[in-house]
């Protein structure tokens, strides 16, 4: 599955637009991660526990979006974007969304 943040794919022709697809995940920061991150926040700098949580969440959201697109017969997603929110100060929501399309190589 090709995923692009652009509205087109160089060298590929969009032959069918299927429509919007999305993948969503909600993750809770565990008590241990919150505890460790709280101490790290006192000293400043990057909070590795939260960085890792967000990377994993983005990956999972993209994979779910791709599954959604494949279920409709798409072989690519264009104009992919992320949306991130916090829920009740304890959970992170990450959504990946874009337009499912069918592409084929441009004939020369």
The pLDDT value given to residue 23 = 98
Number of domains composing the chain: 1
What's residue 71's pLDDT? 98
Q: How far is Cα 40 from Cα 69, in angstroms, rounded to an integer?
A: 39
Q: How confident is the model at residue 67 (pLDDT cuts 50, 70, 90)?
A: very high
* Residue 38: pLDDT band with limits 50, 70, 90: low
CATH number of 17's domain? 3.30.110.70
Measured between alpha carbons, how far is 53 from 28 in angstroms, rounded to an integer? Answer: 9
Q: Does pLDDT of 89 surpass 80?
A: no
Averaged pLDDT for residues 17-30: 91
Q: Which residues of 33-57 are buried (b: 16+ CB within 10 A; e: fewer)?
A: beeebeeeeeeeeeeebbeebeeeb
Q: What is the mean pLDDT of residues 3-32?
A: 91
Where does 1-108 show beta strands of DSSP type E?
2-3, 12-28, 76-87, 91-105
Domain limits at 16? 2-105
pLDDT of residue 96: 98
Stretch 19-35: mean pLDDT, rounded? 79
């Amino acid at each position: 599955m090709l995923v692009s943040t652009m509205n087109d794919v160089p060298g590929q022709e969009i032959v069918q637009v299927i429509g919007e697809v999305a993948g969503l995940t909600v993750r809770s920061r565990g008590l241990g991660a919150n505890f460790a991150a709280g101490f790290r926040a006192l000293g400043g700098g990057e909070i590795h526990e939260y960085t890792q949580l967000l990377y994993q969440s983005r990956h999972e959201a993209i994979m779910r979006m791709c599954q959604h697109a494949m279920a409709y017969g798409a072989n690519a997603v264009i104009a992919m974007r992320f949306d991130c929110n916090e829920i009740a100060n304890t959970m992170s929501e990450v959504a990946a969304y874009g337009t499912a399309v069918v592409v084929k190589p441009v004939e020369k």
